[in-house]
Structure 1
Amino acid sequence: MGHRGSGPGRPSLIRAANVLRQYDEGEVAAVWRRLCARLAPDGLLVEGTCDEIGRRHVWVALGPEGPRTVTFATRLGSLERPSDLAERLPKALIHRNVPGEPVHAFLRDFDRAWAAASPYASLGARQRWIATARALAGEWPLTDGERRWRQGELTVRWDALRPSGP
């Protein structure tokens, strides 16, 4: 545990799905720091929440320096509106989905862009999601592109969704 080198035992990837749900929100940052301290220098911690059958998943990607991005992922045919993903927000964000918090504003804008892209629904949920992502990219710092959007994913910089208060 005290080993800090980049040799054996330092993982390149730690995936924690549905692990921090039972923690208090105030404990999340310390758990993130502890896990990230164990990563290889170029390692990644993926921490988030998914539903029981993997249709919906939201995760934070963290490097040794801390949070980098938040990814919203869904099986597109199962989505009524993007804010349905709110119930899968990671512990660090789930209680922050209230007016005045960045994640709430993002989900509001995500729903608006989805509604505006409704004409694309006749071409399929994938085309509607891509049109939604293109619209959001003009307002929010998305870090991915059409290749990931086609898979039902959308990633935004953590700094844009970082909780505003303690």
Structure 2
Amino acid sequence: MTARAATRPLGTVTRGTTNPNRLRRMDRWIAATHGAELRRAADPVAVDLGYGAAPWTAVELLQRLRTVAPRARVVGIEIEPARVAAALPYERAGLVFRHGGFELPIPQRPLLVRAANVLRQYEEDQVAAVWERLCGRLAPADPATGSRGGLLVEGTCDEIGRRHVWVALGPEGPRTVTFATRLGSLARPSDLAERLPKALIHRNVPGEPVHAFLRDFDRAWAAAAPYASYGARQRWIRAVRDLTADWPVVDGPARWRQGEVTLRWGALAPRG
């Protein structure tokens, strides 16, 4: 193996589609649920992996993380060298860009890796290996301080960020699945199926947990129709509240009001 081959970034070039504010729902959730870990870290480094043809998402991630963790730093990593070169003028204190892939070419073990719309083009059977590699690079848990370690957030959204589904993983593996949407754009919860991450999108078939969940969510949404007169938010809250009777929802009304619901990964994990 040549030296050049040994240092080649891991992964393949994505389409690079990106838009300002596209990942706002994911960023908002990260700030709310992972902000304490970032605040207490001596050097809270976050990675925007595969930020795309323009650096907007990395710039925005820094801004949003610093509202909850003022010392947070962001490293944007892209496998396409031309995209890195185009992003360099946007570097500033706390924000740098690097050429690389799933190997994460930084010396630190990050507290956060955000990989949005990166695995969409991969095969389902490749996902587990990518997850394992990225989780292996996260900052470890520290029982002495109560830290659960770093967080990998991997998922998919539409082009303007109205609908988004992501999996959150720690050093130990998958933890939760979050569905997030602009409620005014939603006809029924199962509309989010087209934005399921690669690990789940092909499992939305009878007999699989994610299919059963979306079926039950649609039923709860239909039963909550009388609440629509108070607005889509109240209808969503009521539907999610009904879901908690049968599904392990781990968040509460404060997040539901944002058009979110988060469940334990084990409840939706693919069978087999």
Question: Partners in 1 of 2:160 and 2:188 — Cα distance?
Answer: 18
**CA–CA distance in structure 2, aligned partners of residues 47 and 32 of structure 1:** 9
Distance in 2 (CA, whole Å) between partners of 1:40 and 1:80 is 40
1:106 and 2:213 correspond: yes
Tell me the distance in 2 between the aligned counterparts of 1:35 and 1:153: 25
5+ unaligned residues in a row in structure 2: which ranges?
1-41, 44-106, 141-148
Q: 1:28 aligns with which of 124, 127, 132?
A: 127
Poorly superposed stretches of 4+, deviation over 4 Å = none
Identity of aligned residues (%): 81
Gaps of 5+ in 1: 1-5
For residues 11 and 76 of structure 1, the distance between their equivalents in structure 2, rounded to whole angstroms, comes to 33
Structure of higher CA gyration radius: 2
- Residues 32-62 of structure 1 deviation map (CA, whole Å, 9 limit, x = unaligned): 0000000001100000000000000000000
For residue 137 of structure 2, what is the amino acid of its counterpart?
R
Alignment match, 1:71: 178
Shift of 1:122: 0.4
Per-residue deviation, 1:95: 0.1
**Can you list the C-alpha shifts for 1:4-41, whole angstroms capped at 9, x where unaligned?**
xx986111000011000011100000000000000001
- 2:60 corresponds to 1:60: no
Letter in 1 for 2:112: L
Could you tell me which residue of structure 2 aligns to residue 126 of structure 1? 233
Matched with 1:159 is 266
| Root mean square deviation, CA, Å | 1.2
| Aligned partner (choices 84, 92, 101) of residue 199 of structure 2 | 92
